[in-house]
Amino acid sequence: MTRKGPLDGIRVADFCWVGAGSYTTKMLADLGADVVKIESSKRLDSLRLARPYKDGVKGVNRSGYFADRNTGKRSITLDLKRDEARDLARRLIQDSDIVTNNFTPGTLDRLGLGYARFAAERPDLVFVEMSMQGGDGPARDYLGYGATIAALCGLQFLTDRPGGRGAGTGTNYPDHIPNPCHAAFAILAAIRHRRRTGLGQYIDLAQTEPTIAVLAPALMAAAAGEAVAPSANGGAAAAPVGVYPTAGEDRWIAISAPDEASWRSLLGVLGVGALADDPRFGDGASRALNRAVLDEALDRVTRALDGEDLMHRLQAAGVAAGVVRDAKGVVAEDPQFAHRGHWVRFDHPEMGRTLYNAPPFRFARGEVGLGGRSPLLGEHTDEVLRGRLGLDDAEIGRLRAEGVLE
């Protein structure tokens, strides 16, 4: 896909793998950067082996999870245990504006590819490391991924039901929202700083910190001496705010009516105006205090109603409401996603016509969107070595024959 995004001309040497790091550099690719993903067939990005696979057929180029996190990138494969491969990686870094990795601290240093190796000769380089606990301190060598980080920071605890055992959100939430978004924002700030001063930055992002940042209200409450405990949908200060059953099997609707106007409108749409006269629900504080009783009363009404129709009637009455869709419903039935062109399909050499998420935002200036499908493993090795490093076909053939290129 040919386009000119806000980061057009920016070159990224991407050593990231798995979730948060790969999603960070995907966002850079969505903004128009040329992201070259350095991979190895001997030590695969584990996301390439993550379900779901297209048509249920396993393969390093068939993971939907990998595909979604790596749109618009180019992939090269190098055996970084070889001196010549490390030299190629160094040359690629020297030809880049941004270097990213989410390895354990010191991994790139041991390969001769760390920030200290380039700081003097490339003062304009933006170098990003995204380890679990950061590059310094007693916990620097701890390993972990999204669920580990969520447990360590308290997210698993806070998102459970009261009295639960820390079941959490059911997904590696830190990998999807706080960590890649904070990292991408830090990179964009560093690029702006470089445009103004000519100087790059070394960014050491401990992935625990962005996750802790999204828990700020709970942390402040605990610091003030308040008891903090999981409350499921009961965390809101007013009610009703929750998810309620509707007609059909496993059908639900999310409703939020925390103020008096929306509360009255909700009662009108549901035809249960008598609840307004119940002293237990006389004001927001009373409704929050008697949340369980209120939710039970609303459940009895909503479970007999069609969710789509109820959603539209509530929205028309000024009540925030949305049906809860399964994966198939989100893709095929959600009119807002369709209106915004959120779902994009690309032809893939192994997976065929494949569905991808477009960025959920637009820029007033510059194109933002998917730069193309996900890459095959090592698909662009020759292309990058020719175009970025100036190698000819004979040299590339020799390197491949000797196993430097995988």
Helices 260-270, 307-316: inter-axial angle, 10-degree rounding: 140
pLDDT tens readout for residues 272-313: 999 999 999 988 889 988 988 999 999 999 999 999 999 999
- Cα→Cα distances 189→182, 196, 199, 256, Å: 11, 11, 12, 36
41-73 core/surface letters (b: 16 or more CB in 10 A; e: else): eeeebebbeeeebbeeeeebbbbbbbbbbbbbb
Sign of the Cα torsion 13, 191, 122, 120 reads negative
pLDDT tens readout for residues 249-276: 999 999 999 899 999 999 999 999 999 9
Amino acid 238: pLDDT? 72
Amino acid 198: pLDDT? 97
Task: Give 240: exposed, middle or buried? Use CB within 10 Å, 0-12, 13-18, 19+.
Answer: buried
Number of H helices, E strands in the chain: 19, 11
Which residues on neighbouring strands pair with residue 99, listed in sequence order? 13, 127
pLDDT tens readout for residues 146-176: 889 999 999 988 888 777 777 777 788 999 9
pLDDT tens readout for residues 27-69: 999 999 999 999 999 999 999 999 999 999 999 999 999 999 9
Q: How wide is the angle at C-alpha 46 spanned by C-alphas 98 and 207, nearest 5°? A: 50
Helices 178-197, 20-30: inter-axial angle, 10-degree rounding: 50
Amino acid 6: pLDDT? 92
Whether residue 245 has a cis bond before it, omega within 30° of 0:
no
pLDDT tens readout for residues 223-259: 999 988 887 666 666 789 999 999 999 999 999 998 9
pLDDT tens readout for residues 104-131: 999 999 999 999 999 999 999 999 999 9
Q: Give me the residue spans of the domains in the chain.
A: 11-214+339-401, 233-324
H or E element at residue 253: strand 252-256
Residue 1: pLDDT over 50: no
**First CA to last CA across the chain, in angstroms?**
27
Which distant-in-sequence residues (6+ apart) come within 8 Å of 189 by Cβ? none
The domain 233-324 is placed in CATH, from the list 3.50.50.60, 3.30.1540.10, 1.10.1060.10, 3.40.50.2300, at 3.30.1540.10
Task: Give 298: exposed, middle or buried? Use CB within 10 Å, 0-12, 13-18, 19+.
Answer: buried
Amino acid 236: pLDDT? 60
Which residues on neighbouring strands pair with residue 405, listed in sequence order? 78
Q: Are domains 11-214+339-401 and 233-324 of this chain identical in fold?
A: no
Task: Give 277: exposed, middle or buried? Use CB within 10 Å, 0-12, 13-18, 19+.
Answer: exposed
**What average pLDDT does the chain have?**
93
Mean local confidence (pLDDT), 364-375: 90
The answer to whether the beta carbons of residues 23 and 180 sit under 8 Å apart is yes
Which residues belong to the active site?
175
* CATH number for the segment(s) 11-214+339-401: 3.40.50.10540
Residue 66 CA from chain centroid, whole number:
12
